[in-house]
Amino acid sequence: MYYNQDSIVFLDGKWIRADEASASMYNQTMHYGNGVFEGIRAYQNADGCNVFKAKEHFERLQYSATKMHIELPYSIEELTHISYELLDKNDLTDAYIRPLVYLGANMSLMPTDEVHVFMAAWKWEKYLGDKPLKVMVSSYQRPNPRSCHVEAKVVGHYTNSILATTEAKKLGYDEALLLDMHGNVAEGSGANFFYEKEGILYTPPAGNILPGITRATVMELAKDLGVHVTEKNFTIDEVYGADHAFFTGTASEIAPIESINGESFKNSWLDSAGHSLYLMYRQKVRFNEYQGLTIV
């Protein structure tokens, strides 16, 4: 599904077949979760394709690496260039790109200088699908920001996401909504959360969430649409009285929510600001800020 015998991946400066890529069984990322990654989407356009917000994603990769004491051996420009070359080598335009920075053999609890950079791409449908989602409030909280850098995209943090999604699916829901340690709404297991009430959008502030690049894009688009966005802490009870709600994330784009813990939203998604924002988002992602330029 992610690769076949023709797929080419980037590994430490080399282009190799995906089925030939391998890592040490003693790597620290696998044993202790110290690695960082990104999830990026490319979209086909008239010029070929646009790696949407490449700079922002690779800046976040760099930020996450720095927070975990990992020295990234490539610049943002080099990583951007690698991502375009990766798509080219795999004949992909509409695709999902996964850069992963993992560490070498190390059983200590200190990072190592042996830093590996892997990048792969594959075709991936909208992660949460198109159907409005039945969401449950998770019994798992988002990690306490004093226990880790919750705003960084660190491999080990995703055990929290896996627990929350698995719990939700086992109970017959599509996805989980996690609260923070104070009981306020934080985010989904791999997406940020917005709700709409009386024409205003509300989303939790930075602090207990991964402040997503899609979230920032939606906030910019809302400004263009003339819809006010308020970043504030709120409880789940405030969400129950809302008109609509949706998740935002690179993989899931803008995903409508039908209900939370069985409580349906009042109004139709097609009449919501979220839906208008989704149509705008689909336009924006194709725009290539590098149009006409050769990226080196």
* CA 294/CA 278 separation, integer angstroms: 30
Site string for ligand PMP, 143-182 (x = CB under 6 A): ----------x-------x---------------------
Fill in the DSSP letter of residue 130: S
The 8-class DSSP code of residue 154 comes to: B
Q: Does 192 bind ligand PMP (CB under 6 A)?
A: yes
190 contacts ligand PMP (rule: CB under 6 A): yes
Residue 153: active-site member: yes
- Beta carbon of residue 32, minimum distance to ligand PMP (angstroms, whole number): 19
Q: Is residue 203 close enough to count as binding ligand PMP by CB under 6 A? A: no
Classify each residue of 128-150 as buried b or exposed e, where b means 16 or more C-beta atoms within 10 Å of its C-beta. beeebbbbbbbebbbbeeeebbb
The single residue among 143, 212, 256, 274 that binds ligand PMP, judged by CB under 6 A, is 212
By C-alpha distance, which of 24, 28, 25 is closest to 106? 28
Residue 249 interacting with ligand PMP (CB under 6 A): yes
Burial label, 16 (beta-carbon count in 10 A; 0-12, 13-18, 19+): middle
Residue sitting closest to ligand PMP (CB) = 212
For residues 137 and 260, the answer to whether their CB atoms sit within 8 Å is yes
Of 115, 124, 153, 158, whose CA–CA distance to 11 is shortest? 115
CB of 54 to ligand PMP, least distance (A): 12
Candidates 191, 201, 255, 257; binder of ligand PMP (CB under 6 A) is 191
Residue of the chain from 82, 97, 210, 245 that contacts ligand PMP (CB under 6 A):
210
The C-alpha atoms of residue 78 and residue 72 are separated, in whole angstroms, by 11
Tell me whether residue 8 or residue 155 sits nearer to ligand PMP (CB atom).
155
Among 135, 155, 177, 213, binds ligand PMP (CB under 6 A): 213
| Near ligand PMP in 40-99, by CB under 6 A | none
Nearer to ligand PMP by Cβ, of 87 and 97: the residue is: 97
Interface with ligand PMP (CB under 6 A), residue from 8, 9, 27, 39: 39
**Residue 119 to residue 26: CA distance in whole angstroms:** 20
CB 76 within 8 A of CB 121: no
The residue type found at 278 is Y
Pick between residue 41 and residue 244 the one whose CB is nearest to ligand PMP: 41
Task: Give the active site residues.
Answer: 153
Positions that interact with ligand PMP (CB under 6 A): 39, 153, 161, 187, 190-192, 210, 212-215, 248-250
